[in-house]
Structure 1
Amino acid sequence: MTGPVLDVRSLDTVLHTPDGRTLPVLRGIDLTVGPGECLGVVGESGSGKSVLARTVLGVHPRGTRATSTGAVLLDGEDLLTAPARRRAALLGTGIAMVHQDPMTSLNPVVRIADQVTEALTNRRRLNRAARLRTAADLLAAVDVPDPARRARAYPHELSGGLRQRVGIAAALAGEPRLLLADEPTTALDVTVQRTVLDLLDHHRRSRGLATLLITHDIGLLYGRAARIAVMYGGRIVETGPTEAVTTHPAHPYTAALLRSVPRVTGPLRRTLPAIPGSPPDPARPTAGCPFAPRCADARERCAVEAPPVHRPAPGRSVSCHYPLGTPESTP
């Protein structure tokens, strides 16, 4: 097929919690991801990144009901209107996910082989020998040493880095078209983070996988994501090519995220700039810009009017009354 693998249009999601609260957690989300492309989704904790991934996947925390409007198109098929059986059939084959913490995403009492091949055994019967052979092949594809022995192991017998490789192998087993990687290196030692990211990048390129790489670290996206979508308060506030967004940010929040990235140049002893205040509470939505209470350049208009979407250059958009780098942004 031509066109994007994932096409999200005007997506709004409301969570209904067990205690009776109604939380609008996603508002007006628009994004696309093409075959073999990596789109980086970046923002603080609570910005809505993981909810976006769960909404695309169709899975939410136990006891929480979600209502979504808009469209989530996978190769042109709207997942929001698809029957539950059809969505379940796409899990592992159409869409797969690599989770943040490989220790909690893997079942501690099930052998690695059975977990890696789950997407396959849900659709066809494999005997024990076939499961072990298939699992060993999948583990070898993600550079797990001694894959035949590791296929017989339990998760607690593997290091954090190897457990995350197991998670990647399980995600790739069903040959999905879309891969959601939700903070895939947060729980790992810094020395193995790059290895895991390189592995994801290799399989994205070789398999033509559309990849949504979710992170709170904007520096992690350099050289890995072709485009960036910056999220704040359940909204996408800026999008564009990675180099353009990181060198000339148009939204004050994006600029603040970039200032907080540690750098090897400059004084040895210095305090990293922090964004004052806290992320917005979804239980208390505001009419204006969600970043206004924390923005040094905010004006009265920002607190009461939803910001329009500006398009400062082809392929770029920013949701701000006073985008950086424009004459009207100067106080």
Structure 2
Amino acid sequence: MTAPVLEIRSLDTILHTPDGRRLHILRDVSLTIAAGECLGVVGESGSGKSVLARTVLGVHPRTTRTESTGAVLLDGEDLLAAAPRRRAALLGTGIAMVHQDPMTSLNPVVRIADQVTEAITNRRRLSRRARLRTAAGLLAAVDVPDPDRRARAYPHELSGGLRQRVGIAAALAGDPRLLLADEPTTALDVTVQRTVLDLLDQHRHNRGLATLLITHDIGLLYGRAARIAVMYGGRIVESGATEAVTRRPAHPYTAALLQSVPRVTGPLRRTLPAIPGSPPDPADPAAGCPFTPRCAAARTVCATKTPPVHHPGPGRTVRCHFPLDTLESAA
């Protein structure tokens, strides 16, 4: 077996905010992504998904002090141990990111050509004509119509879908090995979402990109991600092949997420079930399993002891005292 492009081992990340709070965001996170593979990371807002991407990328708000322990290996190189200059050199070439909102991730006063080619011009000088030509080629590769004219435009002159394609073109410009896509379709219409996801899939296959696709919509991962990692309270509570996890979830939280996915079959007026309660506060972590206050199957031990990791099937993990298969077999 070839070594994974990205391997995360027992990653913990703590953020110290300007107001003095200590937020333990990521707890014992481990995952791998191979070349050409898409791993989907799914969970509610506040589960730690975006902080995971920013920790891999090495970019956090300047006002927040960050502590990370464990290992983040890119082609075997530990990014957490790398010097700042080395990490900066990998941005755009080793790792690239497609952000959630293309309007805020693009600079409104810089032309599209300069933003798309930034990963290239940071390393070698290009003439104005070369920047426009290179940008137009990258825009054409992500199906932006009339790429020569769009390369000279500003972000506000493009629709949301075109701006997100610009973001993808900019991410691909440096020919990275790892692509982080953080909720890349949240700000887009449903019809545009599929086009953007198809583009990501196309370039992942063609370039052999290892892709981390972050979303709050578990239904979006069907047919997109070969494997899935479900996050809750900063932990990966379940992982495995997407089909196996979605067909027979082993963690109560995964089951609750799946029940909340809208379906086109069944009663027309069916009310979607909601998960009661709120996600845990990272500034005040509780002992035991973080899902305990919201879990209908919780028992006394769930509130006091960290749940162990079980293996309900080949390539699958679940962090739960009482996985659903266990509960069903005991019933």
Give the TM-score normalised by structure 2.
0.99
CA deviations 1:193-225 (Å, max 9, x no partner) are 000000000000000000000000000000000
Structure 1 residues 137-168: Cα deviation after superposition (integer angstroms, max 9, x where no partner): 00000000000000000000000000000000
2:324 partner SS: coil
Matched with 2:10 is 10
Map of 2:248 onto structure 1:
248
> What is the distance in 2 between the residues matched to 1:265 and 1:327?
28
User: Matched residue of 1:326: which SS?
Assistant: helix
Partner of 1:319: 319
1:277 partner SS: coil
Match for residue 231 of structure 2? 231
The residue that corresponds to 2:41 in the other structure is 41
Match status 1:284 vs 2:256? no
Task: Return closer, same or farther for 1:327/1:271 CA change in 2, 3 Å cut-off.
Answer: closer
Runs of 4+ in 1 over 6 A off after TM superposition: none
Q: Write the letter of the residue equivalent to 1:3.
A: A
Note the 1:76-225 alignment, pairs <5 A: 76-225=76-225
For 1:64 and 1:329, locate their aligned partners in 2 and report how far apart those are by CA, in whole Å: 47
Map of 2:28 onto structure 1: 28
C-alpha distance in 2 between matches for 1:327 and 1:276: 21
| CA deviations over 1:115-150 (Å, ceiling 9, x no partner) | 000000000000000000000000000000000000
Distance 1:328 1:271 in 2: 25
Q: CA deviation at 1:2?
A: 2.9
Post-superposition Cα deviations, 1:247-288, rounded to whole Å, max 9, x if no partner, equal 000000000000000000011112100000000000111110
Aligned residue for 1:302?
302
Q: Tell me the distance in 2 between the aligned counterparts of 1:269 and 1:328.
A: 29
Give how far 1:314 is off.
1.3
Q: Whole-Å Cα distance in 1 between the matches of residues 96 and 206 of structure 2? A: 16
The one-letter code of the counterpart of 1:262 is: P
Contact 1:322 1:328 in 2 (8 A): no
SS at match of 1:29: strand
Q: Which runs of 5+ in 2 are unaligned?
A: none
TM-score by length of 1: 0.99
- Alignment-derived partner of residue 262 in structure 2: 262
| In 2: Cα distance, 1:132 partner to 1:152 partner | 7
Indicate if the aligned counterparts of 1:292 and 1:298 stay in contact, CA closer than 8 A. Answer: yes
SS of the residue corresponding to residue 11 of structure 2 reads: strand
- Change in 2 beyond 3 A, CA 1:318/1:283: same
Question: Which residue identity does 1:42 align to in structure 2?
Answer: V
Amino acid at match of 1:93: T
Note the C-alpha offset of 1:328: 7.5
Identity within the alignment, %: 85
